[in-house]
């Protein structure tokens, strides 16, 4: 499930928004918040933005806040009749192209994709990096790889367990998994503050592969926002899956009664890390939140 910030300006726009209610967790622009401040807040949280409006309104709104293609919010526009869905920012690494296709499917609309590698069905190195949890060490080299692919040339690829080099662009696997459990309704800000007692934002941007939890938390707003802030997936597992994880865990009878397994954070982190995982932070609890961290050793690359 994805959180999608949304703004509309007409009754038709409201009807379009309502069609998306079951497919996404939608957060509307508050009536008492001006558009500029709202857009700035979206960008500060790296949250996807849906403008149900003209592209001109969207472009003018986001222009002051565009900074980094690897961190900018994905932005899409839907016309007020719901005919076209247009990604206009962060199409690849931010996932706006993929999001536009999802929105278009719900609305039975036309996704208007304009990125050259997509419309020519060619390899896009930033999509490849995002899909595989790889750190892009030099974003300026993305366009060089794309230009080569668009010329019909094959990139030079060197692959090892510690890095992948495509032409001169080095991609390094992110290995850190955060397993997190929390009480219902825990705010993003509180969860992030808890996480930041262990890792800085810079460390997480370089190393975080995913956040993991139990499936009853798949729509937990605070966790969803945390995952989208760091640009990673929120992976969730059923209690029976978590019970199968081998190890000596600090179990809570109360948690077991609530969700069916006595330890969420350690088990989820290890399960998400794959074969031969290493637990690097044991279960730590604070104010209705628990956190553990694991390292994934085996990296599976999907081309």
213-232 per-position pLDDT tens digit: 999 999 999 999 999 999 99
* 232 touches 211 (CB < 8 A): yes
Is the pLDDT score of 212 beyond 90? Answer: yes
Write out the residue limits of the CATH 3.40.50.11220 domain(s) in the chain.
3-114
Q: What are the residues whose beta carbons fall under 8 Å from the beta carbon of 287, sequence distance 6 or more?
A: 190, 194
Round the average pLDDT of the chain to a whole number and report it: 96
Distance separating alpha carbons of residues 239 and 261, to the nearest angstrom: 6
85-134 per-position pLDDT tens digit: 999 999 999 999 999 999 999 999 999 999 999 999 999 999 999 999 99
* 27 touches 4 (CB < 8 A): yes
Q: How confident is the model at residue 161 (pLDDT cuts 50, 70, 90)?
A: confident
Pairing mode, strands 134-136 and 164-166? unpaired
Write out the residue limits of the CATH 3.30.420.180 domain(s) in the chain.
176-295
Q: Give the domain 176-295 fold.
A: Nucleotidyltransferase; domain 5 (3.30.420)
Of 142, 221, 223, 129, nearest to 174 by C-alpha is: 129
168-204 per-position pLDDT tens digit: 999 999 999 999 999 999 999 999 999 999 999 999 9
pLDDT value at residue 41: 98
Q: Give the CATH class of 3-114.
A: alpha beta
Q: What are the residues whose beta carbons fall under 8 Å from the beta carbon of 160, sequence distance 6 or more?
A: none
Token pair of 250 as six digits: 């600090």
Q: How confident is the model at residue 236 (pLDDT cuts 50, 70, 90)?
A: very high
Largest CA distance in the chain: 61
Is the pLDDT score of 239 beyond 90? Answer: yes
Token pair of 179 as six digits: 């397993």
Is the pLDDT score of 244 beyond 90? Answer: yes
User: Can you give the pTM of this predicted structure?
Assistant: 0.94
Q: What are the residues whose beta carbons fall under 8 Å from the beta carbon of 167, sequence distance 6 or more?
A: 141, 144, 145, 148, 155, 156
* 288 touches 180 (CB < 8 A): no
Task: Name the residue with tokens 């839907």.
Answer: 78
């Amino acid at each position: 499930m994805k959180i999608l910030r949304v703004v509309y300006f007409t009754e038709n726009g409201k009807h379009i928004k309502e069609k998306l209610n079951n497919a996404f967790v939608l957060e509307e622009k508050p009536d008492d918040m001006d558009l500029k401040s709202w857009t700035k807040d979206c960008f500060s949280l790296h949250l996807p933005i849906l403008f149900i409006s003209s592209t001109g309104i969207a472009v003018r709104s986001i222009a002051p806040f565009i900074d980094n293609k690897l961190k900018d919010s994905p932005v899409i526009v839907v016309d007020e009749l719901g005919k076209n869905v247009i990604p206009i920012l962060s199409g690849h690494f931010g996932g706006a192209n993929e999001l536009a296709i999802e929105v278009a499917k719900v609305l039975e609309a036309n996704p208007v994709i304009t990125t050259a590698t997509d419309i020519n069905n060619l390899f896009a190195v930033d999509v490849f990096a995002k899909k595989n949890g790889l750190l892009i060490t030099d974003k300026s080299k993305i366009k060089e790889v794309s230009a080569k692919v668009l010329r019909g040339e094959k990139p030079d690829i060197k692959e090892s367990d510690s890095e992948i080099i495509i032409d001169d662009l080095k991609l390094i696997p992110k290995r850190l998994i955060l397993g997190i459990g929390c009480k219902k309704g825990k705010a993003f800000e509180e969860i992030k503050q808890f996480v930041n007692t262990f890792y800085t934002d810079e460390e997480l941007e370089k190393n975080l592969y995913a956040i993991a939890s139990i499936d009853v938390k798949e729509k937990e707003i605070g966790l969803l926002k945390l995952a989208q802030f760091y640009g990673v997936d929120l992976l969730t597992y059923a209690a029976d899956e978590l019970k199968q994880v081998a190890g000596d865990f600090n179990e809570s009878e109360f948690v077991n009664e609530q969700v069916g397994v006595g330890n969420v954070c350690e088990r989820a982190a290890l399960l998400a890390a794959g074969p031969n995982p290493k637990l690097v932070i044991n279960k730590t609890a604070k104010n209705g939140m628990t956190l553990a961290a694991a390292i994934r050793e085996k990296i599976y690359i999907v081309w």
